[in-house]
Amino acid sequence: MDKQDIIKPENLVYKKPTLMNDNPMHYCPGCSHGVVHKLIAEVIEEMGLENKAVGVSPVGCAVFIYNYLDIDWEEAAHGRAPAVATAIKRLWPENLVFTYQGDGDLAAIGTAETIHALNRGENITIIFINNAIYGMTGGQMAPTTLVGMKTATCPYGRDPKIQGYPLKITEIAAQLEGTAYVTRQSVQTPAAIRKAKKAIRKAFENSMQGKGSNLVEIVSTCNSGWKMSPVKANKWMEENMFPFYPLGDLKDKE
C-alpha cells in the first residue's frame, strides 16, 4: 500500500487541534508549553466550550498564548491572573474560566493571589507550568528551583542556606478548604500526556459544576534555561524533578 493511499480524510486519526491556529509559536524547540497548549485546546473542543472559554494569560514565556489558541483571553499583570479570573468568573458564571501560569508567575510574585483565590474556592482552574526556573527572563532561580540546581542567579547550585528551600505550592493548595481537585502531571510521553489531558478535563468540569477551585500542576522542562537538548531535558526532569515533585492526584473532592 502506498503512503498516498493511506493519507485520506477518512483515515485521519490525529491533527493539531482546531482551536490552535497556524501562527508559529515563539517557544524554543521542544518546550513543554506547546504540548500543554494543545491539551487545553483539545479539552475545550471536546467539551464544546469554544465560545464560552476565557483564559487568563501570565507574564512569562506563555504571555503570548492568546496569539495561539483562538478563544477569549485576558492578559493579567505578573502573578495576578487568579485575581483577574476571579472577577471574570463571578461576572460570567456560565463561562469556563482558567488561568495559565508559570512557576515564577504563580509561586513567586503571585503567591498571594494564587493561594487566596484557591482558598476562596473560586470556580476556576489554574494550569501551573512548573519548569523550576524563570524561562522568559533568561533562566533565573525561581522559588521552585531544586536544591543543587544551577541557574543564572545560583550558578553554583541552589543552596538552602542562602536561597532557602523549593516551594511546593501544589501541596499547600491541597490543604485549602476551597480546592476541589489538586493534581500534579507531566507531558513528556504519550501516556503522561493522556493522563494530563484527563486531569485538565476533570478540573474544567469541576469548575463548570461549581465544585470549587482546581489546580493542575504540570511538571515541565525549560530546555533553554536548563541548557540541555529537549530530549535530555525530559530525561533530567524524570530523574531530578519527579522525586521532589511526585506525580498524581493530591486531592479529589468527589
Partner 1 sequence: MAKVKGAIVVDTERCKGCSLCVVACPLEVIALAKEVNLKGYNYALQVVEDKCNGCTSCATVCPDGCITVYRTKVE
Ligand X SMILES: Cc1ncc(C[n+]2csc(CCOP(=O)(O)OP(=O)(O)O)c2C)c(N)n1
Question: Which stretches of the chain bind ligand X, using CB under 6 A?
Answer: 58-62, 78, 102-105, 109, 129, 131, 133-137, 142, 222
How far separated are the first and last CA of the chain, in Å rounded? 49
Phi-psi region of 121 (alpha: psi -120 to 50; beta: other; left: phi over 0): left
Which residue's Cβ has the minimum distance to Mg ion? 102
**Using an 8 Å Cβ cutoff, are 236 and 228 in contact?**
yes
Residue of 92, 110, 90 lying closest to 100 (CA atoms): 110
Q: Which residue, chain included where needed, has cell 477569549?
A: 72
Question: Which C-beta is closer to ligand X: that of 84 or that of 208?
Answer: 84
CB of 141 to Mg ion, least distance (A): 10
User: How far is Cα 102 from Cα 107, in angstroms, rounded to an integer?
Assistant: 8
User: How far is Cα 58 from Cα 181, in angstroms, rounded to an integer?
Assistant: 21
**Using an 8 Å Cβ cutoff, are 101 and 85 in contact?**
no
Phi-psi region of 248 (alpha: psi -120 to 50; beta: other; left: phi over 0): left
If binding is defined by CB under 8 A, does position 25 make contact with partner 1? yes
Interactions with partner 1, residue window 34-53 (CB under 8 A) = 34-35, 38
User: How far is Cα 251 from Cα 254, in angstroms, rounded to an integer?
Assistant: 9
Site string for ligand SF4, 47-66 (x = CB under 6 A): --------------x-----
HSE-up of 249 (CA within 13 Å, CB side)?
14
Q: Which of 131, 151, 188, 213 binds partner 1 (CB under 8 A)?
A: 188
CB of 41 to ligand SF4, least distance (A): 16
**Partner in contact with 189, chosen from Mg ion, partner 1, ligand SF4, none, beta carbon below 5 to 8 Å by kind:** partner 1
**Partner in contact with 224, chosen from ligand SF4, ligand X, partner 1, none, beta carbon below 5 to 8 Å by kind:** ligand SF4
Q: Which of 170, 185, 224, 234 binds ligand SF4 (CB under 6 A)?
A: 224
Interactions with Mg ion, residue window 93-152 (CB under 5 A) = 102-104, 131, 135
Q: Which residues are near partner 1 by CB under 8 A?
A: 1, 3, 5-8, 11-17, 20, 22, 24-25, 27-35, 38, 187-190, 193-194, 229-231, 234
